[in-house]
């Protein structure tokens, strides 16, 4: 049962990938979550955003 | 029920593949590695998915004009692959008679190289390269995810055998360990948190699946992976934390028999299984010495008639004493000796040239990245991990018959595609002279 469910999820995820790829060019395929990639961050840079008022950019 | 669901997905997949050649190309690669038929039990089980999607891709390439398509050109990797394929054809043609899978394996190799030949035409942007990595990740790690979950659910008692397509538990372990570097890349470079963590969890489950195969080669692969992360990784602290987490999970879940089997890695000289492999290597190299140009044909060593003829003949490993084997027609158990016996010494040198070419491509990419170190950091990280995939293949494959697996060939061409992409980008970046 779980195997069947995971198979359906895998098939669905792959379908999302295909939709993203076929939208590329016409639209920005990377806007679809699965294909979206980011640039490398320098080592040591945190992923957490600083909150305003706590010494962040908006402080 | 599963078959009905699959039919539903096919009704969506095929039009997408027909509409967009690159989508068809991803489907083709996915179908070959995922082997979805292995998880179906009804009328959809025997469908030739890879062939269907290959035809879909070719039809789409002929019917529509893909804006991002590059013209067909002969690159160095494709050149070596083509020569290797030609050598395979000659070996199959002059093979010993009655080899069970001679033409079947040549056909598989030809399909793999044809698939790779189309990659430089279609994978022409970073997005498309990223999509190929996702495709490989989804297709292979699906098997790892399932066996990893079964391993946890059975508290370590489940033994992962894999599916027929991948061969035995050792070959399955090799396949799984080779996909982990790609999951690491996706974990680091996917924008959405859900995708990142999905890759992280599936990666961890795949590590457990490797343990569940009870393959010593698989464990060796995990050690290499851990060492690479510590030595080459830019995020050493995160890497060490992941290794520590995986080690705790493995030691808690692995059964006693697993520990006993893994300890035999320390005394291979007394290990009957290992010495049996050395005998197979001796026979394979004896076939190659007798047929240096075209070898004995695909899987010649597994033919009892060929084995019996070359058992005890002069080989490259005569300096190692081995016990007498009662069995006949044993698998080569090494990518190196497999190619040597099948395609001769010439085929072995071509196989070596293919792998050396891939490592040279990796070096060339490293040099190209230095020209644009910030924007091309992704390429540097991806190619480092792709090189790790090849290192894992070369080390773990040294004790397995896996010379014609699709994955290493796809990785070799992916390295070439990244190089071509960076070259195009560097040409674009050069300012035009002002008139």
DSSP A41-52: PPTT--SSPPPT
Length, in residues, of chain B: 435
B20 touches chain A (CB under 8 A): yes
Chain B positions touching A30 (Cβ under 8 A) are 127, 191
Alpha carbon B153 to chain centroid, angstroms = 28
Residue A56 reports pLDDT greater than 50 = no
User: What would the two tokens of residue B306 be?
Assistant: 């060929």
pLDDT at B56: 94
Give whole-number Cα distances, B82 to B64, B77, B116, B263, in Å: 27, 9, 10, 42
How far apart, in whole angstroms, are the C-alpha atoms of residue B332 and residue B313?
16
Chain B positions touching A18 (Cβ under 8 A) are 13, 16-17, 20, 23, 26-27
ipTM metric: 0.85
How far apart, in whole angstroms, are the C-alpha atoms of residue B327 and residue B311?
11
Which residues contact residue B162 at a Cβ distance below 8 angstroms, ignoring those fewer than 6 apart?
B143, B147, B168, B169, B171, B172, B175, B213
Q: Nearest by CB to A11, from B9, B67, B127: name it.
A: B9
Q: Do A37 and B378 touch (CB under 8 A)?
A: yes
pLDDT at A1: 78
Q: Do B26 and A43 touch (CB under 8 A)?
A: no
Q: B362-399 pLDDT, tens per residue? A: 999 999 888 877 778 899 999 999 999 999 999 999 98
How far apart, in whole angstroms, are the C-alpha atoms of residue B40 and residue B388?
33
Secondary-structure breakdown of chain A: helix, strand, coil percentages, each rounded to the nearest 5: 45, 5, 45
Q: A12-51 pLDDT, tens per residue? A: 999 999 998 888 766 555 566 788 888 776 555 544 544 4
A40 touches chain B (CB under 8 A): yes
Q: What pTM, to 2 d.p., does this model score?
A: 0.90
Cβ atoms of A31 and A25 within 8 Å: the answer is: no
A16 touches chain B (CB under 8 A): no
Which residues contact residue B131 at a Cβ distance below 8 angstroms, ignoring those fewer than 6 apart?
A17, A20, A21, A35, B22, B26
Nearest chain B residue to A9 by CA distance is: B142
How far apart, in whole angstroms, are the C-alpha atoms of residue B149 and residue B146?
5
Rounded to the nearest 10 degrees, how much is the dihedral formed by the CA atoms of B320, B324, B328, B333?
Answer: -30
Task: For residue B376, give the 3-state DSSP assignment.
Answer: coil
Task: For residue B400, give the 3-state DSSP assignment.
Answer: coil
pLDDT at A55: 43
User: What would the two tokens of residue B312 be?
Assistant: 């005890």
Hey, of A32, A34, A36, which one would you mutate to test binding to chain B, going by the most B CBs within 10 A of its CB?
A34
Task: For residue B301, give the 3-state DSSP assignment.
Answer: helix
Q: Do A40 and B30 touch (CB under 8 A)?
A: no
The alpha-carbon gap from A53 to the nearest alpha carbon of chain B, in Å, equals 26
pLDDT at A42: 55
How far apart, in whole angstroms, are the C-alpha atoms of residue A47 and residue B71?
41
The alpha-carbon gap from A51 to the nearest alpha carbon of chain B, in Å, equals 19
A14 touches chain B (CB under 8 A): yes
**Tokens 């004009």, residue?**
B65
Low-confidence ranges of chain B (pLDDT < 70): 253-254, 259, 261-272, 430-435
A22 touches chain B (CB under 8 A): yes
User: What would the two tokens of residue B72 be?
Assistant: 């067909």
B19 touches chain A (CB under 8 A): yes
User: What would the two tokens of residue B221 be?
Assistant: 């692969």
Residue A58 reports pLDDT greater than 50 = no
For chain B positions 224-243, those within 8 Å of chain A (CB to CB) are: 234-235
User: What would the two tokens of residue B415 be?
Assistant: 């390295």
Closest CA relative to residue B323, chosen from B279, B266, B269, B371: B279
Chain B positions touching A29 (Cβ under 8 A) are 127
CB pairs under 8 A between A and B: 102
């Amino acid at each position: 049962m779980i195997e069947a469910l995971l198979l359906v999820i895998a098939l669905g995820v792959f379908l999302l990938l295909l939709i993203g790829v076929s939208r590329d060019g016409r639209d920005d395929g990377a806007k679809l979550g699965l294909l979206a990639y980011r640039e490398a961050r320098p080592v040591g840079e945190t992923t957490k955003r600083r909150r305003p008022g706590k010494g962040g950019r908006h402080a | 029920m599963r078959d009905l669901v699959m039919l539903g997905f096919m009704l969506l997949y095929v039009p997408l593949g027909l509409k967009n050649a690159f989508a068809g190309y991803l489907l083709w690669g996915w179908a070959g590695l995922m082997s979805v038929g292995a998880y179906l039990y009804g009328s959809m089980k025997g469908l030739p998915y890879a062939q269907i999607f290959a035809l879909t891709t070719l039809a789409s390439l002929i019917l529509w004009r893909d804006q991002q398509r590059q013209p067909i050109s002969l690159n160095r990797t494709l050149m070596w692959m083509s020569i290797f394929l030609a050598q395979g054809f000659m070996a199959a043609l002059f093979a010993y008679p009655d080899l069970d899978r001679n033409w079947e394996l040549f056909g598989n190799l030809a399909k793999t190289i044809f698939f790779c030949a189309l990659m430089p035409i279609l994978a022409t942007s970073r997005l498309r390269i990223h999509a190929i990595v996702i495709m490989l990740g989804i297709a292979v790690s699906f098997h790892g995810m399932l066996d990893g979950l079964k391993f946890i659910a059975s508290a370590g008692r489940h033994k992962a055998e894999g599916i027929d397509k991948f061969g035995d538990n050792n070959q399955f372990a090799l396949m799984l360990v080779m996909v982990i570097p790609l999951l690491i890349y996706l974990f680091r470079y996917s924008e959405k948190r859900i995708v990142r963590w999905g890759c992280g969890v599936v990666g961890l489950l795949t590590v457990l699946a490797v343990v569940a195969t009870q393959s010593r080669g698989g464990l060796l692969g995990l050690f290499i992976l851990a060492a690479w992360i510590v030595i080459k990784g830019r995020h050493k602290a995160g890497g060490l934390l992941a290794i520590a987490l995986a080690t705790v999970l493995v030691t808690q879940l692995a059964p006693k028999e697993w520990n006993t089997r893994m300890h035999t890695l320390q005394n291979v000289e007394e290990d009957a299984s290992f010495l049996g492999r050395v005998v197979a290597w001796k026979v394979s190299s004896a076939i190659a010495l007798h047929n240096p140009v075209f070898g004995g044909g695909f899987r010649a060593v597994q033919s009892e008639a060929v084995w019996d003829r070359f058992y005890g003949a002069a080989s490259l490993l005569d300096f190692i004493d081995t016990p007498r084997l009662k069995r006949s027609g044993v698998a080569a158990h090494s990518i190196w000796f497999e190619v040597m016996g099948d395609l001769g010494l010439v085929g072995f040198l071509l196989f070596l040239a293919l792998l050396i070419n891939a490592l040279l491509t990796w070096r060339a990419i490293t040099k190209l990245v230095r020209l644009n170190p910030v924007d091309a950091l992704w390429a540097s990280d991806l190619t480092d991990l792709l090189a790790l995939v090849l290192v894992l293949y070369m080390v773990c494959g040294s004790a397995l018959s896996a010379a014609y697996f699709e994955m290493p060939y796809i990785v070799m061409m992916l390295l070439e595609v990244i190089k071509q992409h960076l070259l195009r980008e560097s040409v674009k970046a050069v300012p035009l002279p002002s008139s």
